[in-house]
Structure 1
Amino acid sequence: MTHEGPPLETLLHRLAETPAEFLDEPKIGSKGRVHVDSVVADLLRLHGAAPTPPDMEAFTGKDASQDRNRLAVTLLLTWLAADDWFLKRQLSAGTLLPLLEGTARELAEQTVAGAFLTDPDRSEEIT
C-alpha cells in the first residue's frame, strides 16, 4: 500500500531553508561539529519514539572518508522529517531509522550532500 506524502513544494521549500546547523560538518572522531546521533535521537523523541543506544550507533561516524557524506545526508533527512506534516503523523522508530540510515546511505553513494540543495533534480530526489 502506498501512502500519500506532503506536497513536494512544501518539502522543497523546507529543504531550501535548511538551517546552517544542519549543514555543518558531522562529528567524526575529533573533527566536525554536529553530533548526528544526537540530532537523530532528538528527531525520534519529537515523533514520540524512544531512541536506544544500539539504534544510535549507525549515526556515529568512525571514518571520515566513508561516513562524512552519509551523515551529512542524514542531517538533511532529519531536517525534512521534522516538518509538521510528518510530526503530526508521529512516525515510529521503525519507519524513521531505515530512512535515516539506509536511504541516507543510498543517496550518499550517488550524490554529495550539498548537491541536494543546489541541484533541482537532486533536491527532488531527497524529498
Structure 2
Amino acid sequence: MNTDYADLAALTRRLADIPAEFLGEPSVAGHGEMAVAAIVGDVLRMHGLHASGELLAGFQGRSAHADRNRLALAAVACWLLADEALIGVDLPHPALEDVVGALVAEMAAITPAHAFVHDAERREELVRALLARLGLRPLGETPAQAQDRLSAISAIQRRALLAASRQAEKRAREVREALARKVAEESADKWTRE
C-alpha cells in the first residue's frame, strides 16, 4: 500500500449506490440472469487487460451451492473496479486478476456478497481489501494507518487469527497432556523403586 489513491468515502458510497443489475442472480448452471464472466471480461478490458478464456471460465459457475456467492461478489467487486478514478490508475494486471479471483473467493467464503453492499463496515472492508491488493491506499492515510484499519475490520484476518488461536490452544493442551503423562510415569517409576 504505497500509493495514495482517493477518497475512501467515495468508493464506499459507490458500493452503497450499486445498480440493481449488479445484484442480480448470477448465471450458474443455466439459471440466473447475470453473466459474471462477461462483466469480469468487460471490466478487465476497461483496465487494458485482455482476460484469458481460462480466467473467464472460472466465472461461468457450475454449482449454485459452491459458486453463487463468489460470483455475486465478483460482480460487486467489478462495480468497484469500474470506478472512473480506478480506471485512470495504471494498475498491475496480476493484481487485477488477483482481486477478481483470489480476493473475491477469500471474502465470499466468509461473508455473503450482499453484505458488502448493505453493511457499512463490510463495504469499507471490501474497499480497503481491494485497494490493498492493488497496492493502493486511501488518500491521507499512512501505510500503517491503512493496514491497521484493514486489520481491524477484516473478516479474513479475524478468521486467520481465530484459526491460529485454536492451533495454539491445541498445541498447549497437547503439551500439558504430555507433561501430565510424564509426571505420572515418573511417579509410577518412583513407587515401583520403593
Shorter-chain TM band: over 0.9
Contact 1:47 1:92 in 2 (8 A): no
Equivalent position of 1:17 in the other structure: 17
- Tell me how far 1:37 sits from its aligned partner: 0.6
- Post-superposition shift, 1:92? 4.0
Which of structure 1's runs of 4+ aligned residues deviate more than 3 A?
A: none
Contact 1:115 1:122 in 2 (8 A): yes
State the structure with more CA Rg: 2
2:84 pairs with 1:109 = no
Match of 2:53 in 1: 53
RMSD value over aligned CA atoms?
A: 1.2
Gaps of 5+ in 1: none
> Normalized per residue, which structure has more helix?
2
Distance (whole Å) between structure 2 residues aligned to residue 18 and residue 41 of structure 1:
19
Offset of residue 90 of structure 1: 3.8
User: Which residue of structure 2 lines up, in the alignment, with residue 8 of structure 1?
Assistant: 8
TM-score, normalised by the number of residues in structure 2:
0.62
Letter in 1 for 2:99: L
What aligned pairs does 1:78-89 form with structure 2 within 5 A after superposition? 78-89=78-89
Which moved further from structure 2: 90-99 or 102-111? 90-99
Please state how far the C-alpha of 1:67 moved relative to its aligned partner. 0.5
Deviations 1:21-62 (A, max 9, x none): 100011001111111110000001111111221121111111
Distance in 2 (alpha carbons) for counterparts of 1:125 and 1:90: 23
More displaced stretch, 92-101 vs 36-45: 92-101
Counterpart of 2:93 in structure 1 is 93
* Distance in 2, Cα, partners of 1:108 & 1:47: 23
User: What is the rounded CA distance, in whole Å, between the counterparts of 2:28 and 2:17 in structure 1?
Assistant: 25
Any conservation in 2 of the 1:116–1:123 contact (CA below 8 Å)? yes
State the identity as a percent: 36
Cα distance in 1 between the residues matched to 2:39 and 2:105: 17
Structure 2 gaps, min length 5: 128-194
Would you say how many aligned residue pairs link Structure 1 and Structure 2? 127
Contact 1:48 1:92 in 2 (8 A): no
